[in-house]
Structures are given as C-alpha cells and as structure tokens.
Amino acid sequence: MELLPQEYGDYLHLSQLHPYTQHLEYRGENWYWIVCALNKEAVQTILYQTLFQLESITIKKKSQKIEIVQRNFSEITYQELMNHFYESDSSPYIQLHFMTPTAFKQKGRYLFYPDIRCIFQSLMNKYDSAVRDEIMVDEDTLEQLYESSQIIRYDLKSVSFELEGIKIPAFIGKITIKMYGTKTMTNFANMLFEFGEYSGVGIKTALGMGCIKKLNDRGRK
C-alpha cells in the first residue's frame, strides 16, 4: 500500500471492497507472490506502475530483503468469463479448494465454515466492486443460488489467520457443491467460482485470506 500513489492508496483505504487480492503459494522449493488486479485501473496502477517496477521487497518485521527473480503475467477478460457462462455445459458438481484461511463476517461475528449463502453473496459483491458498470447483486438470484445448491462432501480444517496481534478464526480445505437448479443457474455458479479464483472469497482477501481454486473432477487444478 505504501508503494502506491497516495491518491489511489487513500481510495483503497476507504473502500470496503478492494479491486485486488494477494496471497502466497509455496510450489516445489519456491515461493510465489500472487497478486490479482480485478479491473483496468488496478492492473495499470498496482501491477504495471508499481509492482512490475520492483527489484526486491522488504519484510520489515524480520528486516528481511526478498529478491524478485521472475515476473509472470496472465489476463482474462470479463467477456471471456461471461462467454463461458453462456456457452459452457458446466458440471453440477463443483469442487473447491480453500487454499488460504477463509472466513466471513455476519452480524459482527466471524463465520469460519463454508456457508453457501455467504460464499455466493461474497462473490457477487466482489464482482460488482470490480465491474463498476454492471450490477450482479440481486436478492432473487442469490436466493435461487442458495436454494439450488448443497454441500455434499467436505474435508476441512479450522485454522487462524494472524493479523496485527489478532487471531481471526478461519478454515482451509476442500468442499464439493452439487447444483440442483437449471442449467443456467449451474453455469452461473461455475462462472462465479471461476471469477472467485481471482477475487478470492470472504474477508481480508487483500491481505491473503480467501484464496480458492476450482478443481476438476479428479480433484486437481
């Protein structure tokens, strides 16, 4: 945040729904810092103008300098996501892997299990935050998604996410959701979860929480 232009940084501080997410992944013997920008302004300001210019970062609490040895960039448009929604014949079985600690906040309390309504509501809110000229959040649609879905399998573990001395209760692991509604509703749910791979789900996604991966039938990406 301190590397960003002050005006944009101030805007992000005031915004409840951030147009970016980040998390860490350890693959093989290497750490990857994954930053997803969810609209053109975020891509330009956060990625191109700021992060792509860095040669290293410093973890202040440990006084540790981390060299950036490689950069990779990939992009998908909202139109490509929507085309998949209209053209695909998605499976009614959706497997999700919650890669980093995930939680929701409801009525001032932390909810640290995968409540389906909270999951869909979070994804729809994040979509609206990123795509400002479209409104997806609709109570009727949300209710249809909720009524048409059920968790039929899970392998979860409760964990905590430490933030400024506070331990936020959360969960990680895998679930399988079955969609019982129409083909349109099934495709829509699948599209939301594909978007969720970039937006994350739940609270504190800008700080590393809520990273999800949509798995294929074999349970692998």
Query: What is the model's pLDDT at position 87?
Result: 75
Q: Taking the C-alpha atoms of 187, 192, 194 and 200 in order, what is their torsion angle to the nearest 10 degrees?
A: -160
**Per-residue exposure over 75-105, b if at least 16 CB sit within 10 Å of its own CB, e if not:** eeeeeebeeebeeeebebebbbbbbbbbbbe
Query: What is the model's pLDDT at position 221?
Result: 40
pLDDT by residue for the chain (221 residues), tens digit each?
888 998 988 888 887 768 899 999 998 888 899 999 998 999 999 999 999 999 998 888 888 999 998 899 999 888 888 887 777 788 999 999 999 999 999 888 999 999 999 999 999 988 887 776 666 668 899 999 999 999 999 999 999 999 888 999 999 999 999 999 889 899 999 999 999 999 999 999 999 999 999 997 544 34
Tokens representing residue 64 in the block: 């540790």
Query: What is the model's pLDDT at position 82?
Result: 80
Q: Are 92 and 180 in contact (CB under 8 A)?
A: yes
Sign of the CA dihedral running 11, 17, 19, 22: positive
Q: Which residues lie across from 167 on neighbouring strands?
A: 162
Which residues contact residue 117 at a Cβ distance below 8 angstroms, ignoring those fewer than 6 apart? 142, 146
Query: What is the model's pLDDT at position 177?
Result: 97
Tokens representing residue 33 in the block: 């810092």
Query: What is the model's pLDDT at position 9?
Result: 85
Q: What is the pTM of this model?
A: 0.89
Query: What is the model's pLDDT at position 219?
Result: 40
The DSSP bridge pattern shows strands 166-179 and 93-102 to be: antiparallel
Give the integer Cα–Cα distance in Å for 214 and 200: 11
Chain CA centroid to CA 109, Å: 20
Query: What is the model's pLDDT at position 220?
Result: 38
Query: What is the model's pLDDT at position 134?
Result: 62
Query: What is the model's pLDDT at position 77?
Result: 85
